[in-house]
């Protein structure tokens, strides 16, 4: 009969519901009692598969290791697992060690941070104002970035061997700088390559030899070295990878012999010894280590977030000092919490890893309790949201938090986002940004990649995963809004109306050959099928799109053609770290 059956099902469901509640309680209790190792395993679970690249991590207090472990494989061809002793290329994490090498020479009385760089590198042009070693160490020199210049000149990553001499030759050709030294901040790898040259010429030893004798050997960093020769053998090296089109992996290893800005090879274990030196001052002394952790300053006295190869920031209300690194498929992060004497190193060998976020998630496991810390909230690294997954940048997820822990706020309505979308141009360097309204998100597109802007107030946004703020100011009926941007792209950007696709006869005005003295390179432009195409023997063919009047974009570069009267006489080429490199028309 129907009624008894319903009662029977209800009666049967009661104990089932009780069992489910008990099971959930057990799972919740288990999560609360999870050990730090369990929680770290969960954070790095996306990178733990054998047969795929991954990461090594260490957490340390002072020089003592609290945790060290490897996830994934260091070499996919030989099935070698990643361990805490696996050696990684750490890219820009290298800069703090170059700064330390110069600081040791300063302590020896052999150089001064306020010396003119041309005293040691006279082949660098005289740009009219003195560029000091301090300017180079703080990225306030105004010198264009070497990697941007090399790419413009046609050098191919993972295809051409780039030496220290190649970089010096290119820098010696430059006819200008971005700004007067000390007046602004713009990240430039060139400065740290020049500091490495200073160490070599003053000490009479290469940076590799100098740091081995004065820094790494005294600290017991036995697996750390600057690799200044691309043929140098490195024992226990982790090879780097990127995904291929077939769903597997291909090698992605930098082939350059340039040190100072990059090319340090080390392990997460050795970085614990380096972390301990900040407390003990065993190498350099406490005075040198204290200076190494100072923020840089501009000419007017304003402090910046960078100094001596270290980035100063905040995470959940706590001061941080550290640096990340990216070269080819290598990704790395060394992060310190000075107030807690806590350090985290995350080194990965795959392009898609995000060691900056992984390091902060790992630190949360060990930070003391307090508002918003790991001990005072439920862990967000539960299955399905572990840091490092490719889907982690969805709106509202943990990855949407800013670097200092801000939570995303309710997004403006879609009509408001659509009004903010469009092209924005900073005329002094011709960088063009594009804002795209996509659903409930506003994306900032620069160099082809899009990142979400999270609302944090009326007309104010923060670039996801960073401390960069974007502030919109209303414009006139014709001009559109003005964008004030902080961070590496900081400046005032004006709304720019895009140019419609140009007819063939207009594109023909730009056709011809152009030469740059700064790069010692020649480009050829042609009109092909109503598109402007750049040709170069190494770069190949790059199709350009119109962006504004006499402006084009392609290959990650921005081109602004200049005229003498009505005739196109040349153009300038820009990236976010190399502005307005000049080309003149030769035919």
Please, what are the domains in the chain? 46-143+178-389 (3.40.710.10), 414-496 (2.40.128), 504-585 (2.40.128.50)
Residue 121 contacts residue 194 (beta carbons within 8 Å) = yes
In terms of Cβ atoms closer than 10 Å to its own Cβ (0-12, 13-18, 19+), residue 436 is middle
The two structure tokens encoding residue 266: 């080390």
pLDDT of residue 518: 97
β-strand 162-163 against 256-257: which pairing, if any?
parallel
Total number of residues shown for the chain: 587
β-strand 557-564 against 567-575: which pairing, if any?
antiparallel
196-233 burial by CB neighbour count: b if 16+ within 10 A, else e? bbbbbebbeebbbbbbbebbbeebebebbbbbbeeeee
Tell me the average confidence (pLDDT) per consecutive run of 10 residues in the chain, 587 residues long: 43 45 45 82 96 97 93 97 98 98 98 98 96 98 97 86 95 96 96 98 98 98 96 96 92 93 98 96 96 95 95 93 96 96 97 95 82 38 36 33 44 85 81 85 76 88 82 75 83 78 90 97 94 93 89 90 96 92 94
pLDDT of residue 421: 87
Cβ neighbors of 273 (< 8 A, separation 6 or more) are: 63, 219, 220, 221
pLDDT of residue 161: 92
Residue 287 contacts residue 120 (beta carbons within 8 Å) = no
pLDDT of residue 412: 85
Secondary structure string (H, E, C) spanning 528-551 = ECCEEEEEECCCEEEEEEEEECCE
Secondary structure string (H, E, C) spanning 126-172 = CCCCCCEHHHHHHCCCCCCCHHHHHHHCCCCCCCCCEEHHHHHHHHH
pLDDT of residue 242: 95
In terms of Cβ atoms closer than 10 Å to its own Cβ (0-12, 13-18, 19+), residue 62 is middle
Cα–Cα distance measured from residue 106 to residue 3, given in angstroms and rounded to the nearest whole number: 91
pLDDT of residue 411: 65
pLDDT of residue 478: 62
What's this model's pTM, rounded to 2 decimal places?
Answer: 0.83
pLDDT of residue 374: 40
Residue 535 contacts residue 541 (beta carbons within 8 Å) = yes
pLDDT of residue 410: 61
């Amino acid at each position: 009969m129907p009624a008894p059956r319903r009662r029977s099902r209800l009666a049967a469901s009661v104990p089932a519901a009780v069992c489910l509640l008990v099971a959930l309680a057990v799972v919740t209790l288990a999560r609360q009692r999870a050990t730090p190792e369990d929680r770290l395993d969960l954070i790095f679970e996306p990178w733990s598969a054998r047969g795929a690249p991954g990461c090594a991590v260490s957490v340390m207090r002072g020089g003592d290791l609290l945790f060290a472990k490897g996830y994934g494989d260091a070499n996919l061809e030989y099935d070698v697992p990643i361990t805490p002793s696996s050696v990684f290329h750490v890219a820009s994490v290298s800069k703090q060690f170059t700064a330390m090498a110069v600081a040791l020479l300063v302590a020896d009385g052999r150089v001064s941070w306020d010396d003119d760089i041309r005293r040691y590198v006279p082949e660098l042009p005289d740009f009219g104002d003195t560029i000091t070693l301090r300017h180079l160490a703080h990225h306030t020199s105004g010198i264009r970035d070497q990697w941007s210049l090399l790419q413009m000149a046609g050098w191919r990553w993972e295809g051409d061997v780039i030496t220290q001499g190649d970089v010096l030759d290119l820098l010696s050709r430059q006819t200008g700088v971005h700004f007067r030294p000390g007046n602004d901040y713009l990240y430039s790898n060139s400065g740290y390559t020049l500091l490495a040259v200073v160490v070599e010429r003053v000490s009479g030893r290469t940076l590799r030899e100098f740091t081995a004798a004065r820094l790494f050997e005294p600290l017991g960093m036995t697996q750390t070295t600057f690799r200044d020769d691309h043929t140098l053998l490195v024992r226990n090296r982790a090879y780097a990878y990127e995904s291929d089109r077939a769903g597997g992996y291909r090698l992605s290893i930098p082939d350059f012999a340039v040190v100072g800005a990059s090319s340090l090879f080390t392990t997460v274990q050795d970085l614990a010894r380096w972390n301990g030196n900040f407390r003990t001052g065993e190498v350099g002394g406490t005075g040198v280590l204290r200076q190494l952790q100072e923020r840089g300053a501009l000419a007017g006295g304003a402090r910046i977030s960078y100094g001596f190869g270290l980035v100063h920031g905040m995470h959940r209300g706590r001061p941080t000092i550290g640096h990340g690194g990216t070269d080819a498929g290598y990704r790395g992060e060394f992060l310190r919490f000075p107030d807690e004497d806590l350090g985290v190193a995350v080194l990965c060998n795959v392009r898609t890893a995000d060691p900056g976020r992984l390091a902060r998630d790992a630190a949360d496991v060990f930070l003391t309790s307090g508002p918003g810390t790991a001990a005072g909230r439920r862990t967000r690294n539960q299955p399905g949201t572990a840091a490092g997954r490719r889907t982690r940048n969805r709106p509202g997820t943990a990855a949407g938090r800013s670097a200092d822990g801000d939570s995303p706020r309710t997004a403006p309505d879609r009509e408001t986002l659509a009004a903010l979308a469009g092209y924005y141009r900073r005329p002094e360097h011709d960088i063009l940004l594009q804002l795209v309204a996509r659903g409930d998100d506003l994306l900032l597109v620069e160099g082809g990649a899009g990142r979400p802007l999270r609302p944090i107030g009326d007309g104010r946004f923060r670039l996801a995963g960073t401390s960069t703020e974007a502030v919109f100011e209303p414009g006139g009926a014709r001009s559109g809004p003005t964008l004030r941007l902080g961070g590496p792209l900081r400046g005032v950007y004006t709304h720019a109306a895009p140019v419609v696709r140009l007819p063939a006869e207009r594109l023909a005005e730009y056709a011809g050959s152009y030469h740059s003295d700064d790069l010692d390179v020649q480009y050829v432009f042609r009109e092909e099928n109503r598109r402007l195409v750049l040709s170069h023997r190494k770069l190949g063919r790059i199709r350009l799109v119109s962006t504004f009047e006499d402006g084009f974009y392609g290959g990650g570069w921005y081109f602004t053609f200049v005229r003498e009267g009505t005739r196109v006489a040349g153009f300038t080429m820009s990236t976010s770290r190399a502005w307005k490199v000049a080309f003149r028309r030769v035919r």
